[in-house]
Amino acid sequence: MAKQDISSQMLKGILQGCLLIMLNEAPMYGYSISQKLAEFGFADVPKGTIYPLLMNMEKKKLVEGRMQDSKEGPKRKYYYLTAAGIQEMKNFMTQWRQLADGVNQLIAERRIDDDY
């Protein structure tokens, strides 16, 4: 993550979109999601944030959890993207691009002082 903390509410919305994108590539279980997020700079996200988010996404029918055998030990719950999850991922990506473009343009047009 960046040197400063990101607001938890903002982070939750962004994380949901990130999880949808990752699960679109392949089903994953909680710990593997945490590891993958760390690869993209989200190392400081506590697992206590990821699991409730996955449960919420499951309630919204964006993902489906399925218990599967694991080579490394007990069964694990893998999360699969649903059709609603795919649509939500597309919506997130569209909204993110629009938001990022606007914020990047705003930042590019301003001088940032170290005094802020």
> Is residue 2 predicted with pLDDT exceeding 60?
no
In a domain, residue 115? The reply is no
Count of the separate structural domains present in the chain: 1
6-45 per-position pLDDT tens digit: 666 677 789 999 999 999 999 999 999 999 999 998 888 8
In a domain, residue 3? The reply is no
Prediction pTM value: 0.82
In a domain, residue 113? The reply is no
In a domain, residue 16? The reply is yes
Rounded to the nearest 10 degrees, the angle between the axes of helix 47-59 and helix 8-25 is 70
Those residues whose C-beta lies under 8 Å from the C-beta of residue 82, and which sit 6 or more positions away, are 61, 62, 63, 64
In a domain, residue 67? The reply is yes
Residue 108: pLDDT band (50, 70, 90) is: confident
In a domain, residue 97? The reply is yes
Q: What residues are paired with 80 via a beta bridge? A: 64
44-83 per-position pLDDT tens digit: 887 788 999 999 999 999 999 999 998 888 999 999 999 9
Rounded to the nearest 10 degrees, the angle between the axes of helix 8-25 and helix 30-39 is 110
The boundaries of the domain holding residue 62 are 8-108
What is the per-residue pLDDT for 5? 59
In a domain, residue 35? The reply is yes
Tokens representing residue 106 in the block:
């705003």
What is the per-residue pLDDT for 38? 93
Rounded Cα distance between 7 and 95, Å, is 19
Query: Domain of 35: which CATH number?
Result: 1.10.10.10
Which is higher by pLDDT, 24 or 109? 24
In a domain, residue 75? The reply is yes
What is the per-residue pLDDT for 1? 43
